[in-house]
A and B are shown apart, each in its own frame.
Chain A
Amino acid sequence: AQSVTQLDSQVPVFEEAPVELRCNYSSSVSVYLFWYVQYPNQGLQLLLKYLSGSTLVKGINGFEAEFNKSQTSFHLRKPSVHISDTAEYFCAVSVNYGGSQGNLIFGKGTKLSVKP
């Protein structure tokens, strides 16, 4: 069965500092991987996705992630964060089984808090 582990529940960081949000997944089959961001009282916005090809994926708002198959990781990074990046970030893996396709298993989320 697939699962997603986000290793940090909270990450405080100062403005303009780099940040890495860690995500490990467990799956016996090939997967698609996603990072979503959720601002307070809002829905989910897709940051970036890994489907195939280059293991370094670039997304919106200056974020990027690297897929590492041997370590089953998909860590999210940004070289310089802004106050506006304060939000909760979710890593997710797409699953296909039976007749169900594309549904997502999410990690528990990482709250990024950017301080001035």
Chain B
Amino acid sequence: DAGVTQSPTHLIKTRGQHVTLRCSPISGHKSVSWYQQVLGQGPQFIFQYYEKEERGRGNFPDRFSARQFPNYSSELNVNALLLGDSALYLCASSLMTEPYEQYFGPGTRLTVT
């Protein structure tokens, strides 16, 4: 079975631009979570979606938004990019049953110049 997939692998954007990152969960997983990992730090939780509804949100500004589609794939959108948004963005999927274990994708490396 395929694991969590993310696209694109890498991208470079300019300050002020907008970016969309995509994630496809493991087949059968209905929950997707997004994390931001800045260089030298541990990942930080951004959003969790389950059955197309937002279930949780971390401490991120409103420039960050996400959505989940009927096939359970997800998009993370970031508007008005700042240099500080440069990071590895990780997507994780889970079954949403105990113990709610999360399976991570390879990540999208975003560089903002």
- Residues of A at the B interface (CB closer than 8 Å) are 4, 32, 36, 41-46, 49, 51, 90, 92, 94, 96-109
Contacts and interface: CB of A to CB of B under 8 A. Distances in A.
A100 B44 CA distance: 14
A101 B43 contact: no
Given A94-B99, A94-B100, 7 more contacts: A43-B107, A49-B99, A102-B31, A102-B33, A102-B48, A104-B45, A108-B40
B111 interface: no
Contact of A99 (B43, B56, B103): B56
B100 A43 contact: no
B51 to A, nearest CB: 11
Contacts of A45: 104
Contact of B100 (A46, A98, A102, A107): A102
Given A43-B106, A105-B45, A100 B101 contact: no
B61 interface: no
B102 interface: yes
B38 to A, nearest CB: 11
Select the residue from B41, B42, B43, B101 with max chain A CB neighbours within 10 A: B42
Contact of B94 (A43, A102, A107, A108): A102
A94 B101 CA distance: 8
B10 to A, nearest CB: 10
Given A32-B99, A51-B99, A106-B44, A100 B107 contact: no
A49 B90 CA distance: 19
Contacts of B92: 104
Contact of B102 (A90, A96, A102): A102
B96 interface: yes
A100 B1 CA distance: 26
Contacts of B35: 104
B102 A104 contact: yes
Nearest to A106: B42
B55 A43 contact: no
A111 to B, nearest CB: 9
Contacts of A106: 42-44
